[in-house]
Structure 1
Amino acid sequence: ALKDIVAFAGGERTTNYRIRDWLVSRQRYWGCPIPVVYDPEGNPHLIPAEHLPWKLPTDVDFTPNGSSPLSTSVELKERVTRIFGEGWTPEYDTLDTFVDSSWYYLRYLAPTEEHAFSDSTLMKRWLPVNRYSGGSEHTTMHLLYARFFHKALFDMALVPTPEPFYERFNRGLIMGTDGQKMSKSKGNVVNPDEFVQKYGSDAVRMYLAFIGPYNEPGSYPWNLDGVEAMRRFLDRVYSMRELVGDVEVTEAIARALAQATMKVTEDTERFKMNTALSALMVLVRALEELDQVPRAAYQTLLTLLAPYAPHLADHLWHVTGGEGTVHKVSWPELQEISLTSVTVAVQVNGKRRGEITIAPDATETEALLAARALPAVEAALGHIPPSRTIYVPGRILNLVAAQGQ
């Protein structure tokens, strides 16, 4: 259709970009000072390189007076007069803070570099940034500005990559206890410092990790019960130290360790911290059933726990004879799990009635025979065959009772 219109009306097809000027000056103190001065005729001039960096003055009066705070600085005015002469005046506005944050990831690589904005060798090693996490509002704000800066720097051959970030995802929002967005005006702001003082930073850290998947946007109300639950879990891990001894790791525990390592590794890498912690809880329950916990198994637990509860994990690592710090220990290797048996939950009409232990490759018939040997299952079925069997090998067996049962 566009080709027909062009052919009929004449002219040519063009793309009209909705580009607008970016006003970067701000009438506030907190921001990078604009390196510009004005001569007595009011013409702007850039600050010469030998006078950079052009630093913010500290003798500023923040009382509102209708002008930028920097206009109250005697030191800034005297600095300009000393360098440029009488009648010259400084620029009193500061730059929008986005001007700084648009390239902060580059400065992080070499924050003490005095002769360049970053280090070219380190940029080649580390760029692009693997993942950029932020709120949804960043899509049309910071992300837009950062890409603009980076692409301009790339065109100037000052950065090695055309894009600043490999991947970006939104993150969830912690709400107040009333389910509303935290706000001072609503009086529902939660101060995490109070919870850190009472329950410890590890418990608060784990609660935030467990509250929901980090890689999926969502809103999660702050829940004191959740923080307390995490503290109780950590207390259980702490109490378990008294059961640690130099005993052999059984096949069942080796399997539990392998399953936990696989789950924690994969889910942490996918930013699904909540399910990674669930796997650790399963492992802790398995270890709690033992009369004596193998030292190797307990220290593997601590290694997996360390990213989530760094303080307690490192303390218990030392208590149980670990050398150095747990945070420098190699991550447990992923091992293929050779299962000689699996535990399968058995349901009747969707309600759990027990569990069976069968071979991993057991057929549906074999699983059904094992299930019907359970008195609770047979009673729920009314001692007659089920009308339907739903079997997921290695996971669950759901039996639908005949009509009337």
Structure 2
Amino acid sequence: MFTTRADTVFGVTFIAIAPEHEILEGLPLSEEVHQYIERSLRISEIERTSREREKTGVFTGLYAVHPFTGERIPIYVCDYVLATYGTGIVMGVPAHDQRDFEFAKKYGLPIKVVIKPVDSELSEPLDKAYEEYGVMIESGKFTGLTSEEGISAVADELKAMGLGGREVQFHLRDWLVSRQRYWGAPIPMIHCPRCGVVPVPEEELPVKLPEVVDYAPKGKSPLESVPEFINTKCPRCGGDAKRDPDTMDTFVDSSWYQLRYTDPHNDNEIFDPKIAKRWMPIDQYIGGIEHATGHLIYFRFITKVLYDAGISPVNEPALRLFTQGMILNEDGKVMSSSRGTAVPVRPLVQRVGADVARVGVLFLGPPEKEGIWSERVVEGARRFLDRVYRIVTENTDIITENVPANDSILLRRINYTIKKVTEDIEDFHYNTAIAALMELVNEFYKSGKDETLGYGLYTLVKLIAPFAPYLAEELWHRIGGEGSIFHASWPQYDPGKVYLPEIEIPVQVDGKLRVRLQVPFDVTEDDIRKMALEHPKIRQHIMGKQVKRIIVVPKKLINIVTK
């Protein structure tokens, strides 16, 4: 059995085996199970692993024994598990894997929470799986460890017990050529019974696809049914030969577009290396996570091939990669235009305005994670922008670009917000940047009408521009800004006058929350350990016990493990 999350082992409530797994051949299975396996194998791997498809399975009547608790764990054959992933057998942890969660809900299996957030509690029953790292709970002697520590500790324990250990598994599957039959670039090879596989001569390239009327699946390539394409002469011996009937995936077709874009009108060569060197590599590549084992394989591979051939000036196509998450509806399902579950953009913008829609989407959560779409997000964005508009337009008489000479708390908050928004934008953390702006606006409403507020509002208009460009442009002109706000300089902050807010650190003893400490943002780990151990409530709970270790998750959590 394979898992990347050994820290969740105490939450296992079922075992899932891929229907094509060879281990099933030697097990006493019912006719119902055999029929399920046959049905599952008729479905493509892509469809079986789709997030949108309902997860199905069948109970084998067999059980496994949990290595730590001795519990009997039911074994299922599940179509969403692939034999090519890990060992083809996975542990079902419904509380901490969304696919397992959906499966457990459907088949009435237990859902055991064994990981909780580092600084809060999970409310049960869960409405979806908690998949993030956190702190282990209800996990025997591992309780209180962070997920990172737990993964290592559980693996070490299993190895010592002779029941498991660490192993590297690669989830890299080059299916792009083998799955393609017509839509793609023909493979420029000729199969000759005398000479073997012979390349198409350079002067005959590119090989172009013929018009094919019928390309429905028939167990062979549609190109084999086009004699004028498939039948040819061997370029080496001149005898009868056949072209390669397969084609490459369209991901391969698009694998070098970034280089061609630098010199798109060049009729003499693929691109001028001098021109490509000016533009390449790409500073920032943004794409869906589904590209990781698809387009991006060839995106990098072809660039490296061209570099080795002395054609490309770079051997890496991009400097930074960012993969964005999917948008889900309130039921946790992927929003899709093809399924009619997407929110059309035009009606939304017409109803609430472009800025409200934009801020709402950006405020959903970390863009690398899945985001839950809700009308409440739109309403929150509308209220925020209304407050921005109101406080700026009601104070135009005091707004100034001049930095106050004082060292007030409000000025420090303004500097802190400039710093945070700037850094968050660089890191794609738009949701936390907007949250910081909301907090600053709250402070503005509490403050007096003075030069610091005037400077803060001037700065605010600039800071909201990337998120609410139309509102920012209007307010910029309202406060007397020259030209477009997008030609104005970005706000700068004084590092010596940055507000460091206090943060709340939960302190646990053996995984159970005992107290919350209010500490300075820049508190050191040594100081926070000392503060925790000296707190009266903590001293009460560790009295008579030996402190085995103190786990500190910076700025998030302290967990004192006793013996």
Q: Using structure 1 for the length normalisation, give the TM-score.
A: 0.62
Q: Within 5 Å, which residues of 2 pair with 1:2-81? A: 23=177
Deviation at 1:152, TM superposition (A): 1.0
1:123-162 alignment, distance < 5 Å: 123-162=276-315
Aligned position for 2:385? 234
- Superposed CA RMSD in Å reads 4.9
Task: Look up the match of 2:471.
Answer: 312
Measure the CA separation in 1 of the matches of 2:209 and 2:480. 52
Quote the offset at 1:402 in angstroms: 8.1
Structure with greater helix percent: 1
Note the 1:358-373 alignment, pairs <5 A.
none
% identical equivalent positions: 37
Answer yes or no: is 1:245 the counterpart of 2:410. Answer: no
Q: Once the 2 structures are TM-superposed, how far is the Cα of residue 145 of structure 1 from its aligned partner?
A: 1.0
Question: Rg bigger for which structure?
Answer: 1
Give the direction of change, closer, same or farther, for the CA distance of 1:286–1:395 in structure 2 (3 Å limit).
farther
How far off is 1:264 after superposition? 0.5
Alpha-carbon distance in 2 for matches of 1:291, 1:220: 38
| Cα distance, 1:224–1:68 mapped onto 2, change above 3 Å | farther
Shift, 1:276, TM fit: 1.0
- TM-superposed CA distance for 1:184, in Å, is 6.0
- 1:96 and 1:337, CA in 2 relative to 1: closer, same or farther beyond 3 A? same
Residue 232 (structure 2) aligns with: none
Maintained 8 Å contact 1:34/1:95:
yes
- Structure 1 residue 150: deviation in Å? 0.5
2:457 — aligned with what? 298
Q: Does residue 413 of structure 2 align to residue 256 of structure 1? A: yes
Distance in 2 of aligned mates of 1:212 and 1:150: 34
In the alignment, what sits opposite 2:121?
none
CA 1:330–1:60 in 2, change beyond 3 Å: closer, same or farther? farther
Superposition deviation, residue 110 in structure 1 = 3.7
User: Is the Cα–Cα contact under 8 Å of residues 259 and 337 in structure 1 kept in the other structure?
Assistant: no
Secondary structure of the equivalent of 2:496? coil
Q: Deviations over 1:156-208 (max 9, x none)?
A: 21212222233334322111232112246765332233222211222222222
Unaligned runs of 5+ in 2: 1-171, 190-197, 224-228, 230-243, 509-514, 524-530, 539-563
Q: Please name the residue that 1:282 is paired with.
A: 439
Distance 1:22 1:68, change over 3 A: closer
Q: Are residues 309 and 391 of structure 1, via their aligned partners in 2, closer, same or farther at CA, if it must alter by over 3 Å?
A: closer
Secondary structure of residue in 2 paired with 1:161? coil
Aligned mates of 1:26, 1:389 — CA distance in 2:
57
Corresponding residue pairs, total? 324
* Counterpart Cα distance in 2 of 1:248 and 1:48: 69
- Aligned counterparts of 1:184 and 1:308: Cα–Cα separation in 2: 25
- In structure 1, what is the equivalent of residue 320 of structure 2? 167
1:328 aligns with 2:487: yes
* Residue segments in structure 1 that go unaligned for 5+ positions in a row: 1-17, 37-43, 71-76, 78-90, 351-387
Cα gap change, 1:145 to 1:254, in 2 (>3 Å)? same
Q: What is the identity, as a one-letter code, of the residue corresponding to 1:274? A: N
Does the CA contact (< 8 Å) of 1:206 and 1:308 recur in 2? yes
Give 1:205's match in structure 2, choosing from 353, 358, 371.
358
| Distance change (3 Å), C-alpha of 1:343 and 1:96 | closer
Which residue is equivalent to 1:220? 371
Pick the aligned partner of 1:103 from 225, 250, 256: 256
Structure 2 counterpart SS, 1:165: coil
Contact 2:284 2:321 in 1 (8 A): yes
Deviation at 1:146, TM superposition (A): 0.9
Residues 25 and 94, structure 1, Cα contact 8 Å, conserved in 2: no
Aligned to 1:130, the other structure's residue is in SS state coil
Match in the other structure for 2:36? none
